[in-house]
Structure 1
Amino acid sequence: MRYFPLMVDTKDKKVLIVGGGKAAAIKIQGFIDSSFLFYCLAPAFCDDLIALAGTYPERIFLKEKKVDADFRFFAYDYFIVATDDEALNAALLRRAKAASVPVLSTSDPASSDFHMASVLRRGPLAVSISADNPTVSKYVKADMEEFLSRYDEEKLFEMNRIRRLLVERKSAHISEIMEELWNDEKISKNYGESFDET
C-alpha cells in the first residue's frame, strides 16, 4: 500500500493552499475537522471558499495574490496545489518537493506526498475511508456511518478515560481489564468512579 493512513497532530500546523477555486474549497472542507491553519493565495476566490473563510475566520486566511512558477514559500508544514493551471501546478509541486514540504496536487494525485481521506467520528473514535473513486468513498462512508451509530459514545469515552487512569497508575493487566469492560453491556459509573478513588 503506497498511501498508508496515519493520524498526525494538526495543532499549530500551517497549510499553504495556492488556488482559490472549487478544488481548494473541497480540500479545505475535507480538512476542516482538523486543527490546521489554512493560508490561501489566489488572484480571486470562489464563493464556497469565501463562505468557509467567513465561518472559520480564525483558521482560514485568504490573500489575493498571483503566484507564478518562481514563487518561494517557507514556514509551512503542508502545501496544497489547486490552481487550474497544470503547468503552474507542476512547477509548484517540484518546488515543494525540493523544499521537503509534503505536497498534495489536485491535478497530479499520483505525484502527491499525501492524500485526503474521508473521516467519520463517533465520540473518541475516528475512522478514515480512502478510495481512488469518490463515488465508492461516498457510499462506503454512508454504510460506515450507519455501522458506527451502533456504538455507545458514552461508553467509548468512559473506556478511554479508564484506560488513561490505568496507564497513569501503571496498573497490571490493562488489556484484560479493557477486554472485560468492552464486553460489559454498559460500563457503570461506579466502575469508573472506583478508579478515581484509588
Structure 2
Amino acid sequence: MRYYPLAIDSKDKKILVVGGGRAANLKLKQLVKTLASITVVSKQFSNEVIELKKVFGDKIILESRTIDINNINIDVNYTIVFICTENKELNLKIFKYYNDNKVMAMMTNNKEASDFITMATMEKENITVSVSTGGRSPSASKILLNEVEKTLNTEFIEKINLLCEIRELLVKEKSYNYNKENISDIIESLILYSNEDLLKKLKIMREIKC
C-alpha cells in the first residue's frame, strides 16, 4: 500500500490553496467543512470561489497576487498546501518551494509527484466514510461511495451510534476493568445484535453506572 490513510485534526490549522479556478474550488468545497483557517492565493478568482468566500466569510482569506515563477515568495507557515493552478511548470516550482521548506504539498494535476492524495469523502450525521483508488480514478471512488451510502440507512446509523455509546460507557466506567483490547472484542461481539437489544443493554449499563 503506497498511500497511508490518515485523518488530520484540522482545528486551527493553516491551509493554503494556490490557484483560484475550478480545481481550487473543488478543494475548497471540502476544506470549508473543516475547522481549518484557509488562505487562497491567486491572481484571479472564479465566481464559485468568490461565492464561497461570501458564504464562509473570515474562514476563507483571498489573497490576490501574481506568483513569480522565479521567486515564489509565499509564506511557508502552513500545515498543508494544495497547488491548483493550470500552469504545470509553476505548480512544480511551488511544490519544490514547499518541499524544501518541509511543508506537505499536493499538486492537483500531478498526484504521482505529490506528498499526498485526497480521498472521496461522504458525511452522514456523525459518520465519515472516505474511499480512494490510489489517485487513479476519482469517478470510481465516487461510485464506491454511492454504494456505501445505500448501506448507511437510518437503522444502520442508529446501530453505530448505540455501539459508540456502549463503548464510551465501557471506557469511562473503571469498575468494568476492561482494557482497550477487551472493549474492542465486546463491541465486535455486539455487532449482530438488533438495535432493540442494544438499547436494552445500554439501559442496563446506564442503570449500573448510576
Do Structure 1 and Structure 2 share a fold, with TM-score over 0.5? yes
Q: What's the counterpart of residue 195 of structure 1?
A: 205
Task: Output the CA distance in 1 between the equivalents of 2:107 and 2:32.
Answer: 18
Which of the numbers 164, 169, 177 marks the counterpart of 1:160? 164
Contact 1:16 1:38 in 2 (8 A): yes
Shift of 1:104: 0.7
Task: Output the CA distance in 2 between the equivalents of 1:115 and 1:35.
Answer: 20
Task: Output the CA distance in 2 between the equivalents of 1:149 and 1:177.
Answer: 24
Identity %: 28
Contact 2:119 2:130 in 1 (8 A): yes
Q: What's the counterpart of residue 140 of structure 1?
A: 144
Extract unaligned runs of 5+ from structure 2: none
Shift of 1:91: 0.8
Which of the numbers 110, 117, 126 marks the counterpart of 1:124? 126
Q: What's the counterpart of residue 183 of structure 2?
A: 174
Q: What's the counterpart of residue 52 of structure 2?
A: 52
Q: TM-score, normalised by structure 2?
A: 0.84
Question: What is the 5 A alignment of 1:26-45?
Answer: 26-45=26-45
Shift of 1:163: 0.7
Q: What's the counterpart of residue 98 of structure 1?
A: 100
Which of the numbers 180, 183, 188 marks the counterpart of 2:192? 183
CA gap of 1:176–1:108, structure 2 versus 1, over 3 A, is: closer
SS in structure 1 of the partner of residue 57 of structure 2: coil
May I ask how many residue pairs the two structures share in their alignment? Answer: 198
SS in structure 2 of the partner of residue 115 of structure 1: coil
Shift of 1:139: 1.7
Superposed CA deviations along residues 86-109 of structure 1, whole A, max 9, x for unmatched, are 221111100110111100112221
CA gap of 1:155–1:85, structure 2 versus 1, over 3 A, is: same
Q: TM-score, normalised by structure 1?
A: 0.89
SS in structure 2 of the partner of residue 50 of structure 1: helix
Task: Output the CA distance in 1 between the equivalents of 2:205 and 2:65.
Answer: 56
Extract unaligned runs of 5+ from structure 1: none
Contact 1:119 1:129 in 2 (8 A): yes
SS in structure 1 of the partner of residue 205 of structure 2: helix
- In structure 1, give the amino acid aligned to 2:21: G
SS in structure 2 of the partner of residue 95 of structure 1: helix
Matched, 1:149 2:158: no
Task: Output the CA distance in 2 between the equivalents of 1:5 and 1:18.
Answer: 24
